[in-house]
Amino acid sequence: MTIGELLKEYRISQGKNQKEFTNNGLITSQSYYSKVEKNIHHITANSLIDLLHYNTIPLWEFFSRLHSTDDLRHQQIKDFNNMMSEAYYENNIDKVKNLKPLVNESNLSNKEKQEQLLLIDGWIEIMKDPSEKPNLKLRDKIKDKIFSIPNFNENKVTLFCNFMYFYDLESNKIIAKKIISQYIDSSNIKMQISLLAIIVNILAFSLSNNKENDTGYFLEKGERIKIKPELVFYKSAFYFFKNIILYHQTKNNKYYTKSNQIKDFLISIGMIQYGKILEDLLIKYK
């Protein structure tokens, strides 16, 4: 991996263009820097250190990665997926759209770029206003991509979790039960996150379809996943929907109060946009 390639990977992972990354050209001119990324020009040691400091990239981390055998493309794909997910929870559709030029100028292969662009379009489709006409062709294309993966491996589970919105409730339940039965005892944190996210989606869809009385299986499985620091957000979301369902079933205000407290907690730790979505749901299901 060259210095230019690694600088470009860091820049894209931060969602910056070249002008922003070079402090508006104050560290090194944008035209010169663009040729550094293309390995046409070399960058001086002083300018490199200034770039790393300005963009809060630890020197030790940069130079250790420079000589490592890490797969650069794999890291870029991971960064893009993280940025898509972050933008979704911020309810920031423009942030998702702005990822397209970053994907196009990345070091990914053409096939990998097309896959990432398809996922970006999928996130944009999910975040559209309900009054907008759905893109059924795009939804079918993403569903075909998910089920072109032969087994319920980690990649397929994550894709399904992200795009459950494209399936009807009964199809979601059937697929979700297969995944949960396969991985409920997994100690893999990433898989536990996916399972909780799937369960939360099922509970949310069930509420919106007035089918909350048929959620016992998913409530029981959600309880089985033990709390860990990495799961705090997902367990909080699970208990929010569990208590809303219990409130609907019993009309006991203590459950509504618990959901309201969870909403306030998520807002207090910075999940402001998501907390507002939950606030709207509390009003809707009161």
Tell me the pLDDT band of 217, cut-offs 50, 70 and 90.
Answer: very high
Range 81-95 average pLDDT? 88
Better-scored residue on pLDDT, 102 or 66: 102
Percent of the chain with pLDDT over 70: 98
Phi, psi of 282 (to 5 degrees): -60, -40
CB atoms < 10 A from the CB of 102, how many?
21
Quote the percentage of the chain above a pLDDT of 90.
66
Q: Per mean pLDDT, which range of 128-137, 148-157, 239-248, 254-263 is the poorest?
A: 148-157
pLDDT in tens, 187-209: 889 899 999 999 999 999 999 99
- SS3 for 138-161 is HHHHHHHHHHCCCCCCHHHHHHHH
Assigned CATH class of 167-286: mainly alpha
Q: Any idea of the CA torsion for 237, 77, 229, 177, to the nearest 10 degrees? A: 50
Confidence band for 63, pLDDT divided at 50, 70 and 90: confident
pLDDT digits (tens, 9 = 90+) for 144-166: 888 777 678 888 898 899 999 99
Output the pLDDT for position 98. Answer: 93
3-state secondary structure 49-112: HHHHHHCCCCHHHHHHHHCCCCCHHHHHHHHHHHHHHHHHHCCCHHHHHCHHHHHHCCCCCHHH
CATH 1.10.260.40 fits 3-66, yes or no: yes
CB 184 within 8 A of CB 195: yes
Give the residue with greater pLDDT, 90 vs 139. 139
Region of poorest pLDDT, from 1-15, 64-78, 153-167, 238-252:
64-78
What contacts 24+ positions apart, CB below 8 Å, involve 273-281?
273/89, 273/90, 273/91, 273/92, 274/89, 274/91, 276/91, 277/91, 278/240, 281/207, 281/244
CB 17 within 8 A of CB 8: no
pLDDT of residue 265: 96
pLDDT tens, position by position, 250-274: 999 999 999 999 999 999 999 898 9
Residue 128 and residue 94 in contact, taking contact as beta carbons nearer than 8 Å: no
What single-letter DSSP state applies at residue 212?
A: G
Domain ranges (residues) in the chain: 3-66, 72-150, 167-286
Q: Which residues, 6+ apart, have CB-to-CB distance to 150 below 8 Å?
A: none
How far does the chain reach from its first CA to its final CA, in angstroms? 56
pLDDT of the residue at 91 = 84
- Summarize the chain as % helix, strand, coil (round to 5): 75, 0, 25
User: Residue 71: pLDDT band by 50, 70, 90 thresholds?
Assistant: low
Please, which pLDDT band fits residue 70 given cuts at 50, 70 and 90?
A: low
Structure tokens at 273: 């946009």
Nearest to 186 by CA among 226, 141, 242, 156: 226
Q: Around 11, how many Cα atoms within 13 Å sit in the side-chain half-sphere?
A: 26
- The chain-wide mean pLDDT, for the chain, equals 90
Instruction: Decide whether 3-66 matches 167-286 in CATH topology.
Output: no
- What's the whole-model pTM score? 0.71
Q: Do the beta carbons of residue 145 and residue 159 sit within 8 Å?
A: yes
Please provide residue 92's backbone torsions phi and psi, each rounded to the nearest 5 degrees: -115, 90
Q: What does the pLDDT read at residue 153?
A: 81
- State the average pLDDT over residues 62-82: 75
What confidence tier does 211 reach under pLDDT thresholds 50, 70, 90? very high
Higher pLDDT, 227 or 76: 227
